[in-house]
Structure 1
Amino acid sequence: MNQKIDQFDQKILQLLQDDARMSHAEIGRQVHLSQPAVSERIKRLESSNIIRGYRADINPKALGYDITAMIRVSTQQGRPYSQYVSDCPEIVDCYTVTGEDGAVMRVLARDVEHLQRIINELNAFGSTSTAIVLTTHVAGKAIAIPNPD
């Protein structure tokens, strides 16, 4: 990490991970700083790219995505997939990885037929291996904030 964080930043980051909608005034009350001081710290954490953004936690099943799958793609030379995965709304995470597979992605699908269509499209970039998620034990876990030195 390029920027040093102190115990106030550490607590602010933890509070925002717990509730990104918490007001700066409430954060100030909990960390014993003024609202303007908290606002300035949050701006600094944002400008230094420690805080990258704020998002809503959406339940995919509530939107009709009954299947979550992990798809590994053994990409083939000269068949770049990055544009496809960027444009495909059902691919919610994609990581370039080491090992036999070139990429691992988390995919949401409405049903098996929908998932099969996505797999067929990904096969244009290399061979795929798919695992359907049965249970999620940990997701969106807060990042551990290192203790300031």
Structure 2
Amino acid sequence: MNSKIDQFDQKILQLLQQDARISHAEIGRQIHLSQPAVSERIKRLEAAQVIRAYRADINPKALGYQITAMIRLSTRQGRPYAQYVANCPEIIDCYTVTGEDGAVMRVLASDVEHLQRIINELNVFGSTSTAIVLTTHVAGKPITVPAID
């Protein structure tokens, strides 16, 4: 366990991941600390970049995105696609990976034609392989402090 993250910090992180809008006072009630103590701990976690941001969990289908796809991109050299993926709003995650593929990305599309346009644009940077997500079994799982033996 990270020696700088104690059990109170872990509980704070768990509660914030469940509901980023929870008040510091409510966190304090749940973990038996004062509101000022909770606020100070949260400020420390933010300063240490343990907490990087607070976000809303948006339902893509409610915005018209009917398809989620995973696209693997194989490139010859470097990351020529980096600028494109940074500016493409439909690409919501992109990871440089080891193995045959240079990148793996999660993409949202309104329909098959929309997905095809994104794939065609990515093909400029290398070859792609696409899988459409049928079911999501785990998403947005809270991150916990790793157990160290």
Q: TM-score, normalised by structure 1?
A: 0.94
The answer to whether the aligner puts 1:43 opposite 2:43 as a matched pair is yes
Correspondences of 1:42-121 after superposition (within 5 Å): 42-77=42-77, 80-121=80-121
Residue identity opposite 2:77 in structure 1: Q
Could you give the per-residue CA deviations for residues 109-145 of structure 1, whole angstroms, max 9, x where no partner exists? 0000000000000001000000000000000011123
1:78, 1:21 → 2: CA distance? 40
Q: Report how many aligned residue pairs link the two structures.
A: 149
Residue 30 to residue 60, structure 1, CA distance change in 2 (3 Å): same
Unaligned runs of at least 5 residues, structure 1: none
Look up the match of 2:122: 122
Contact kept? 1:95, 1:104, Cα under 8 Å? yes
Q: CA RMSD in A?
A: 1.8
Aligned equivalents of 1:109, 1:3: Cα separation in 2: 43
Corresponding letter in the other structure for 1:138: V
Q: Tell me which stretches of 4 or more aligned residues in structure 1 moved more than 6 Å.
A: none
1:146, distance to aligned residue in structure 2 (A): 3.8
More off after superposition, 110-119 vs 136-145: 136-145
For structure 2, which runs of at least 5 residues remain unmatched after alignment?
A: none
CA contact (8 A) 2:81 2:125 kept: yes
Which amino acid is the alignment partner of residue 128 of structure 2? Answer: T
C-alpha displacement of 1:79: 6.0
CA contact (8 A) 1:72 1:129 kept: yes
1:114 and 1:8, CA in 2 relative to 1: closer, same or farther beyond 3 A?
Answer: same
Distance 1:17 1:79, change over 3 A: closer
- Matched residue type, 1:130: T
